[in-house]
Amino acid sequence: MTVEGWLLPDTEDPDAAEFWAACRERRLVVQGCADCGARRMPPRPMCPRCRSLAVRWDEVSGRGRIWSFCVPHPPLLPAYAAVAPYNAVIVELEDDPAIRLVGNLVTGPDGALNGVDPASIRIGEPVEVVFCRLTDDVTLPRWRRPAGGAGG
Amino acid sequence: MGRDPFQDRTAIVGIGQTPFGKGLADSELALACRAIAAALDDAGVRPNEVDGLVCFSMEDGREVEVARNLGLGDITFFTQVGYGGGAGCATVGHAALAVATGRCDVAVAWRARKRAARTSRPWSQVSERIRGHWQWSRPFGVLRPVDEIALLTRRYMHTYGATRDHLANVALAFRKHANRNPAATMHDRPLTREEYLAARWISEPLCLFDNCLETDGALAVVVTTAERAADLRHRPAYVHAYAQGLPRQHQVMTNYFCDDPLLGPSWVAGPKLWSRSEFRPADVPVAQLYDAFSPLIPLSLEGYGFCGRGEGAAFTEDGALEWPDGRLPTNTSGGGMSEAYVHGFNLVTEAVRQIRGTSTCQVPDAACCLVTSGEGVPTSALLLRR
Ligand SMILES: [Zn+2]
């Protein structure tokens, strides 16, 4: 998969580096407070519940449900226009529905952003994480429909 | 509860604007200077009387340059407000607070914007790597403001049964108003429901006509004390109430990571605004609601208390937003979707015209007019009265 012109995360961002490192190992993690246990995403330095700066990373199942989605059409940056219309989704995690992640619904780890018919996407449908390796340091979590339609 | 001490203490006494267009030759600074000069002329206030300046933090021509070009006097109060479209009412509100507390006597607030300017379209700049909160959306192709709002819109439609027909109600009402306003970009461009429904997608479920315009232009207002306002040439538009809102656990544009993403900033600014006001939503005869995208209107109608939660889309039915017969004529100059998109500052000047009685969609004897700024970013709102 070519990545020229794609917007990639800074995987050395001090708040997020552990998330991206876990993605490289094909593990989905969310940040939690090491003192009170409250989970928070996107990651940030301080726990808004207890003001602790001590963080931990909890591995989650990687199952979730589509909370919303959109289908961008041009005008877009050239790398995205080339695959438009594609989908972008927000997934709420099965383990912790208060945690939501933005991603894409694809057919598999190497699936194209436009590989799923947008008209078939439904809010509430179950999905599971797949890991798309784009560069040595960037592996993005994306989502696919569970095999056999079960798993939600 | 006692009367808010800032109620009606200050007024907007001058408004000015440039023509609106695409590819205007002037720089943003030159546009700002034209609009401010026009606002001072409109007010009948001399430039050397201005001692307060408030602008957007995104503004290209800052206070020093504006003051040097316009030949302003010694400036004793100046500040900037962030978050793009959320800032419009706040610049006026900060100016009003500064005047009311004696930090300055005559304050100017303005916005100048060129669509080609780097600062106007941050999403179009490819940077090497995405840092901060954008790294949780942009790498997945959520590139533009319209994509960010499309995600909230789809959820809103799913949750409350809103439809594209509701969004069309918004777009068509504002277009009708623009068709009466010679200054509006879309003055001579009618829009039908059929054209709306056939328009190309920008980010499903949002089509071309759910988006604001891309505009070059500038607008400015002059704020001074109620006492001084009484001696000036126009009917004052008193700053009756003002509020800002940055909800708990809010995130700019990508407000997906909190308990209830559809409770946007208007749910904070709205109740605070009414708590400082002698008016209630039912008393408001005309409104200017920030409309970078059509779905912000139902969200704002709910947050500012014109209807219950989830009822904003249904509120738009039966021509409710349309002048002259709707229950709440809204964006009576055409707004950001059909007059000009200058970060919502044209909504402020249109509210002043409603108070003066000079709108091209004038609500008779409008006692007050609500103005709101961006929903989806830390926001602000004003209630002007005659
Ligand atoms: Zn904690």
- Cβ proximity of B372 and B354 under 8 Å: no
Contact A9 B140 (CB under 8 A): no
Q: How far is CA A50 from CA A46, A97, B7, B259, B260, in A?
A: 8, 21, 38, 17, 21
CA-based nearest distance B269→chain A, Å: 22
- 3-state helix, strand and coil shares in percent for chain A, rounded to the nearest 5: 10, 30, 55
CA-based nearest distance B287→chain A, Å: 30
Expressed as residue numbers, the domain containing A131 is 62-146
pLDDT for residue A150 is more than 50: no
Task: Report phi then psi at B134, rounded to 5.
Answer: -65, -20
ipTM of the complex in this document: 0.96
Contact A86 B141 (CB under 8 A): yes
Q: Is some CB atom of chain A closer than 8 A to the CB atom of B152?
A: yes
Cβ-Cβ contacts under 8 Å, B203 against chain A: 70-73
Predicted confidence at residue B60, as pLDDT, reads: 86
Distance A40 CA to ligand 1 centre (A): 10
Final residue of a domain: which of A19, A36, A59?
A: A59
Considering the domain architecture, whether residues A18 and A89 belong to the same structural domain is answered as no
Q: Which residue of B has its CA nearest to A119?
A: B204
Distance B252 CA to ligand 1 centre (A): 23
The stretches of chain B forming alpha helices (DSSP H) are 28-43, 63-70, 88-100, 145-160, 164-178, 193-198, 226-229, 266-275, 296-303, 312-315, 335-338, 345-356
% of chain A residues with pLDDT over 90: 93
Q: What is the H or E stretch that residue B50 is in? A: none
Give the Cα separation of A118 and A112 in Å (integer).
13
Encoded tokens for A86: 């594609």
Give the Cα separation of B287 and B219 in Å (integer).
19
Considering the domain architecture, whether residues A116 and A73 belong to the same structural domain is answered as yes
Task: Report phi then psi at B112, rounded to 5.
Answer: -120, 140
Task: Report phi then psi at B283, rounded to 5.
Answer: -85, -10
Predicted confidence at residue B172, as pLDDT, reads: 98
Nearest to A70 among B131, B135, B204 (CB): B204
SS3 B382: strand
Strands B52-56 and B77-81: parallel
DSSP string, B181-192: -TTSTTTT----
pLDDT for residue A151 is more than 70: no
Residues 332-361 of B with CB under 8 A from A: none
Predicted confidence at residue B332, as pLDDT, reads: 98
A-B Cβ pairs (cutoff 8 Å, strict) = 114
Q: Which residues contact B357 (CB under 8 A, 6 or more apart)?
A: B235, B365, B366
Considering the domain architecture, whether residues A68 and A94 belong to the same structural domain is answered as yes
CA-based nearest distance B153→chain A, Å: 9
Cα separation of the two ends of chain B: 23
Encoded tokens for A131: 């890991």
Interface test with A, best of B124, B126, B129 (most A CBs within 10 A): B129
Predicted confidence at residue A61, as pLDDT, reads: 97
Strands B368-372 and B287-288: parallel
Question: Active-site residues of B: which are they?
Answer: 290, 341
Instruction: Tell me whether residue A152 is in a domain.
Output: no
Q: Which residue of A has its CA nearest to B159?
A: A123
Final residue of a domain: which of A21, A41, A59?
A: A59
Cβ-Cβ contacts under 8 Å, A3 against chain B: none
DSSP string, B133-172: GGGGTGGGT--SHHHHHHHHHHHHHHHH---HHHHHHHHH
Encoded tokens for B272: 């605070």
User: How many CB atoms sit inside 10 A of residue B127's CB?
Assistant: 12
CATH number of B10-116+217-385: 3.40.47.10
Considering the domain architecture, whether residues A92 and A130 belong to the same structural domain is answered as yes
What type of residue is A28?
A: L
Give the Cα separation of B96 and B102 in Å (integer).
10
Task: Report phi then psi at B118, rounded to 5.
Answer: -55, -40
Contact A76 B140 (CB under 8 A): no
Q: What is the mean pLDDT of residues A126-142?
A: 97
Predicted structure pTM score: 0.96
Instruction: Tell me whether residue A2 is in a domain.
Output: no
Contact B158 A5 (CB under 8 A): no
Predicted confidence at residue A50, as pLDDT, reads: 98
- Cβ proximity of B151 and A90 under 8 Å: yes
CATH of the domain at A118: 2.40.50
DSSP annotation of B378: S
Q: Is some CB atom of chain A closer than 8 A to the CB atom of B203?
A: yes
Q: How confident is the model at residue A72 (pLDDT cuts 50, 70, 90)?
A: very high
Considering the domain architecture, whether residues A114 and A55 belong to the same structural domain is answered as no
Give the Cα separation of B195 and B192 in Å (integer).
5
Considering the domain architecture, whether residues A76 and A139 belong to the same structural domain is answered as yes
Strand extents, DSSP E, A19-133: 29-33, 39-40, 55-59, 63-72, 88-93, 100-103, 126-133
Contact B139 A9 (CB under 8 A): yes
Domain count, chain A: 2
- Cβ proximity of A2 and B123 under 8 Å: no
Q: What is the pLDDT along chain B (386 residues), one digit of tens a residue?
A: 568 999 999 999 999 999 999 999 999 999 999 999 999 999 999 999 999 999 999 998 889 999 999 999 999 999 999 999 999 999 999 999 999 999 999 999 999 999 865 455 555 555 679 999 999 999 999 999 999 999 999 999 999 999 999 999 999 999 999 999 999 999 999 999 999 999 999 999 999 999 999 999 999 999 999 999 999 999 999 999 999 999 999 999 999 999 999 999 999 999 999 999 999 999 999 999 999 999 999 999 999 999 999 999 999 999 999 999 999 999 999 999 999 999 999 999 999 999 999 999 999 999 999 999 999 999 999 999 99
Query: B255-259: long-range contacts at Cβ-Cβ below 8 A with a sequence spacing of 24 or more?
Result: B255/B152, B255/B376, B256/A67, B256/A68, B256/A90, B256/A100, B256/A102, B256/B137, B256/B151, B256/B152, B257/A41, B257/A42, B257/A100, B257/B136, B259/A98
Instruction: Tell me whether residue A1 is in a domain.
Output: no
- Cβ proximity of B373 and B380 under 8 Å: yes
Cα separation of the two ends of chain A: 29
Q: Is some CB atom of chain A closer than 8 A to the CB atom of B3?
A: no
